[in-house]
Structure 1
Amino acid sequence: MISLTSPVRTGAHGWPAGVKLAALCVATVVLFARADLAFQLTAAATTLAVTLVGGWTFARAALSALWRLWPFVVLVVLWHGLTGAALDGAVIALRLLTAFLLANLVTMTTTLSQMIAVVMRVAAPLTRLGVNTRALALGMALVVRFTPVLTDKGTALTDAWRARSHRRPGWRIVIPFAVLAIDDAEHMAEALRARGGTTP
C-alpha cells in the first residue's frame, strides 16, 4: 500500500523519524476524532499542499499511490449513498485518502533504518517482558518494504492475464499471486536464517 523512500530530496527528509511518526499518529487520531466535512476537506487540502511543496516529481509519485485506494473509496461512497448517508460516506472517503497520503509521505521521506531505530527505541522497555523487539521492528520493515512489491506483482499478473484473454482476471489470479507471495516469503526466511534470524 506504501511507497519506499523517495530519491527526490525534500525538507522533510532531514526531519527526525520519531517526530514524523509521532506527528502521523497525532494527525490520524485527529482525523478520526472529527466527523465534519469542512474539517476533512481542509485536512485533505493541507496534506495535498504539503505534498506539492516537494516538487512535481515527488508529488506525482505520492499521489499515484492513491490510485490503489479507488475500489475502497468507491465502495464506501456507494454504500453510504444507497443507505442515505452520503455525507458520512464523503467524510470517511476523505479521511481514508488523507490518512493514506500522510502515511505515504512519512515513508517516502524516512528510510527503513530510521523507522526501525524508532521502533526499537520505543519498544525497548518491552525487552524486560521477554518481547523480541528486533523481530517487531523487522516485521514492520518487511510490511513497508514488500507491500508495494506485492502490489506490483499483482499488477503484472493482471496485465499478463489481460494480454492472453478477453475475460476479466478476477479470482483467477488469486492462486498464482499466493504462490508468488509464498515464494517471496520463503526466500526472505532463508535470507534471514543465513544472517542469524531475529535473535537479539
Structure 2
Amino acid sequence: MISLTSEVRTPYHRWWAGPKLLGLCLFTVATFYLDTPLSTGAVLAVLALGYLICGLRFARQGLRLLRPLIWVCMIIMGYHIAIRDIADGAVVCLRLAAAVAAANLVTLTTRLEDMLDVLERLFTRLHVSPRIRRRIALAIALVIRFIPELTRKGGTLIEAWRARSTKKFSWKLLLPFALLALDDAEQVAEALKARGGVE
C-alpha cells in the first residue's frame, strides 16, 4: 500500500506513533489560540527548523506537501485584504500552514500501520465494536492511499492542459478530475465487493 511515509530516515521515525499523534492534537489546538502574526510566524519557524534538522531533502519533501495551501491562503488573504484586515488574514494563513506542516511531519515519519494500530487500541478502550473499527481503519487507509494518487493524476491533467493550450489551467479541469476520482472509487468498490465486501 502506498503511504506518505518518507523514505528519508530521521530521528522522528523512532518516536512512538501514539505520543506523536497526541502531540499533534495538542499542538493543533494550541496553535489556534495564537492571535498575532509574530507568534504564529515563530511557531512556523520552529517547525521549519524541525524539518531542516533532518536535512534539506526531507525539508523539500515537507515544502512540496504545503503547495496545495498556496491557493487556499491566496483566497483567505484576498478576502481579508478586501475587508482591510490584513493582520487577521496573516494569522489565519500562518495557523493553517503550521497545523498542516505539523500534520505532514507526523505523517512523513510514521508508518500507516503504526497509526492504525494506535487507533485500534483507542477504539478498543472506548469499547467500539470490531465491525465499526474495521470500517474506520479501512476508510483512513483508503484516504491516505489515494492522496498521493489523486495528486499525481491532478498533476497529469495540468500537464496535459499546458501541452494543448497556452492559457493557464482553469476550473474546467475540475470536471475531468472529479470523473477520475469517481472512476477510482468505483474500481475500489468493485474490488472490495469481489473480495466479500466490508464486514
Alignment TM-score > 0.5, same fold: yes
Deviation at 1:171, TM superposition (A): 2.8
Q: Distance between the aligned counterparts of 1:126 and 1:193, measured in 2?
A: 28
Paired residue secondary structure (1:100): helix
5+ residue gaps, structure 2: none
Q: How does 1:72-87 map to 2 (within 5 A)?
A: 72-87=72-87
5+ residue gaps, structure 1: none
In structure 2, relative to structure 1, the CA distance for the partners of 1:149 and 1:190 (3 Å cut) is same
Tell me the C-alpha RMSD between the 2 structures.
1.7
Deviation at 1:188, TM superposition (A): 1.8
Deviation at 1:191, TM superposition (A): 3.0
- Matched residue, 1:127: 128
Q: Distance between the aligned counterparts of 1:108 and 1:196, measured in 2?
A: 32
User: Does the CA-based 8 Å contact 1:126-1:133 persist in structure 2?
Assistant: no
Deviation at 1:172, TM superposition (A): 2.2
Q: Distance between the aligned counterparts of 2:186 and 2:127, measured in 1?
A: 28
Q: How does 1:50-199 map to 2 (within 5 A)?
A: 50-124=50-124, 125-128=126-129, 132-199=132-199
Identity of aligned residues (%): 43
Q: Distance between the aligned counterparts of 1:56 and 1:155, measured in 2?
A: 24
Q: Distance between the aligned counterparts of 1:17 and 1:104, measured in 2?
A: 14
- Matched residue, 1:14: 14
Per-residue CA shift, 1:37-84, capped at 9, x if unaligned? Answer: 222111101100001111111111111111111111111122112212
Which amino acid counterpart does residue 88 of structure 1 have in structure 2?
D
TM (normalized to structure 1)? 0.91
Which amino acid counterpart does residue 155 of structure 1 have in structure 2?
G
2:17 pairs with 1:4: no
* Stretch moving more, 91-100 or 79-88: 79-88
Per-residue CA shift, 1:127-183, capped at 9, x if unaligned? Answer: 25x861111122112212212211221111111012112233323222221221112
User: Does the CA-based 8 Å contact 1:116-1:138 persist in structure 2?
Assistant: no
* Matched positions, count: 196
Per-residue CA shift, 1:87-117, capped at 9, x if unaligned? Answer: 1011111111111111011110011111111
TM (normalized to structure 2)? 0.91
Q: Distance between the aligned counterparts of 1:173 and 1:36, measured in 2?
A: 37
In structure 2, relative to structure 1, the CA distance for the partners of 1:173 and 1:93 (3 Å cut) is same
User: Does the CA-based 8 Å contact 1:24-1:103 persist in structure 2?
Assistant: yes
Structure 1 consecutive aligned stretches of length 4 or more whose deviation exceeds 6 Å: none
In structure 2, relative to structure 1, the CA distance for the partners of 1:182 and 1:108 (3 Å cut) is same
